[in-house]
Amino acid sequence: MPDGIAAHADPHRPASGFGGAGHAPASATGFGAAGHHPALQHQFQTLQQQQEAATLGMWIFLVTEVMFFGGLLMAYLLYRVWYPEAWSEGSLELSITLGGFNTVVLIASSLTMALGVRSAQTGAQRATVRWLLVTMALGLTFLVVKFFEYKDKWELNHIPGPNFVFEGPHASQVEIFLSLYFALTGLHALHMVIGFCLLAVIAWMAHRRRFTPEWYTPVEMSGLYWHFVDIVWIFLFPLLYLVDRAHQAG
Amino acid sequence: MSGHVSPKSTYYAIFGALMLLTAITVTIAFINLGTLNFPVALSIAILKATLVILFFMHVKYSSQMTKLICGSAFFFLLILFVLTLSDYLSRGWFVAPGGTAGAGTQVTVGPPAPVPEPAEPATGPETTPEP
């Protein structure tokens, strides 16, 4: 209708600044129709709003992940209350050296991930790729160490199941401990593998210079995921490796 | 729109704190604190997780809404733990008329308990000579 066109041509509206001398109608946000950032999706008014929505969505996903691990941790807690002796026997079977080494590796990978996100924020594209690759290398180190821990358990027949062998007074209760050990660390390792693949994609995108200081949401979101996986391990390490070491030592 | 950019020194400081806390938690694990070992190890883990969440995950600089969602994760986790344990751990505290105190307190695993030997008078005549 002519009325609508007249409203857009209202001289009181600020000119958009994009698309020439005001012949392109200005949107309510002041962006011209063709003037917004290419990464801005049409349902959002600003990039900031878009990133806020993405962050919120990612956090809601992480809450469901917390509950995903929460069920297993609940089982862990209850069986630990019931079978404290089996828990200390089972925990002694785990190598504190390898577990501690992996803890250091994973926390270091969180540091490099945070620095990678920071590089993306400041527009240092080559540094972003470099930090992401370092993070992936540390993640891979973790998984390799984990593989050798599992291999050791395999050779000792400590995998719960029909061939499970364990010398000790609480063998079948230790089997429950080791079941939870494999469920928790296995689920964690699966998250590591997924995170590794995510970072590979993000590193490739960063290499192709897809990110700018205005839009680096995928880097930030993968960072949140990676830090979450780190937090899970921060809890798993004392829960699985450090049960009752003091009483066993002396 | 680049959000909050933390200085690199913040990240290195947090990393240092996390390493220190890891060393402390391993050291304390070998010191006998009796029943306190588990709560102390858990507290250190919660402290480490808080540092990661606040600084590495930028929640300290996020909106109130994000903080609320993040907090809700631990709220729901607490409901899961507290309600479940309050059921399991309180079983056997009270006995219903006609019930037994041990009902449902623990899941039995392991080889079945050995069948007790029959009492002396019930055994055959070959083991108890007639007077």
Domain definitions of chain A by residue range: 1-36, 47-249
Q: Which of A62, A245, A247, A248 to mutate to test the interface with B (most CBs of B within 10 A)?
A: A245
Q: Running DSSP on this structure, what letter comes out for residue B30? A: T
Asked if the A47-249 domain carries CATH number 1.20.120.80, the reply is yes
In chain B, what are the domain boundaries? 7-57, 62-89
Judge whether A96 and A242 are in contact, CB under 8 Å: yes
Q: Answer whether A246 sits within 8 Å of B88, measured CB to CB.
A: no
Q: Answer whether B5 sits within 8 Å of A118, measured CB to CB.
A: yes
The rounded percent of chain A whose pLDDT value lies above 90 is 70
Q: What is the pLDDT of residue A17?
A: 40
Give pTM, 2 decimals: 0.81
A3 compared with B99, residue with greater pLDDT:
B99
**Is the pLDDT assigned to residue A201 strictly greater than 50?**
yes
Closest of A115, A124, A112 to residue A213, by C-alpha: A124
A141-197 pLDDT tens trace: 999 999 999 999 999 999 998 889 998 888 889 999 999 999 999 999 999 999 999
Average model confidence (pLDDT) across chain A: 86
Q: What is the pLDDT of residue A42?
A: 86
**Is the pLDDT assigned to residue B28 strictly greater than 70?**
yes
Nearest chain B CA: its distance from A149 CA (Å): 19
Distances (CA, A) of A141 to A104, A138, A196: 11, 5, 11
Please give the torsion angle defined by the CA atoms of residues B97, B101, B104 and B105, in that order, rounded to the nearest 10 degrees. 150
Judge whether B44 and B21 are in contact, CB under 8 Å: yes
> Cβ–Cβ contacts within 10 Å for residue A40, how many?
18
- CB neighbours of B120 closer than 8 A, spacing ≥ 6? B128
Q: What is the pLDDT of residue A36?
A: 76
* Confidence category of residue A25, pLDDT binned at 50, 70, 90: very low
Q: Which of A55, A135, A220 to mutate to test the interface with B (most CBs of B within 10 A)?
A: A55
DSSP H helical segments within B61-106, as ranges? 64-88
B83-130 pLDDT tens trace: 999 988 887 777 777 766 665 566 555 555 566 666 555 444 454 554
The rounded percent of chain B whose pLDDT value lies above 70 is 73
Average pLDDT of A220-230? 96
Q: In a 3-state reduction of DSSP, which class is residue A211?
A: coil
Task: Write down the ipTM of this complex.
Answer: 0.82
Q: Answer whether A82 sits within 8 Å of B25, measured CB to CB.
A: no
Q: Is A231 on the interface with B (CB under 8 A)?
A: yes
Q: What is the pLDDT of residue B90?
A: 84
**Is the pLDDT assigned to residue A249 strictly greater than 70?**
no
Average pLDDT of A99-117? 97
**Is the pLDDT assigned to residue A27 strictly greater than 90?**
no
Q: What is the pLDDT of residue A109?
A: 97
* Confidence category of residue B53, pLDDT binned at 50, 70, 90: very high
Nearest chain B CA: its distance from A170 CA (Å): 8
> Cβ–Cβ contacts within 10 Å for residue A115, how many?
25
Q: What is the pLDDT of residue A247?
A: 73
**Is the pLDDT assigned to residue A233 strictly greater than 60?**
yes
Region of poorest pLDDT, from A10-19, A149-158, A168-177, B28-37: A10-19
Residues in A closer than 8 angstroms to B65, CB to CB, are 52, 56
